[in-house]
Amino acid sequence: GDIMAEGEGLLSVDYEVFGKVQGVFFRKYTQGEAKRLGLVGWVQNTSHGTVQGQIQGSTARVRELQNWLQKVGSPQSRISRAEFCNEKEITALEHKDFQILK
């Protein structure tokens, strides 16, 4: 079916992933998965050893990436938990693509 099904809203969610998620290509894999799902947003390392960012796209695809961030991650990562906040419906995507921020 259509990625943007009729009546399916757009969602924006902020996330932070805890565990062994730095130095394990977590950002690169997150970007790859987000692009595969057709999502936009960003990902970056924080100074306190976590990875954080924002994801935007169709609700179903955002849920898929949330699940991936909680359970899968990059092959070498060890995720202890993922936290999500500032979830809101948006009328248009606020990013052009999915970027890794330094």
In the residue annotation, 45 being an active-site residue is answered as: yes
Alpha-carbon distance values, 86 to 5, 12, 15, 16, 32 (Å): 24, 8, 9, 12, 23
CA angle in degrees (0–180, nearest 5) for 94-100-102: 115
In the residue annotation, 81 being an active-site residue is answered as: no
Residue from 27, 61, 67, 78 carrying the catalytic annotation? 27
Residue from 36, 45, 61, 81 carrying the catalytic annotation? 45
Catalytic residues: 27, 45
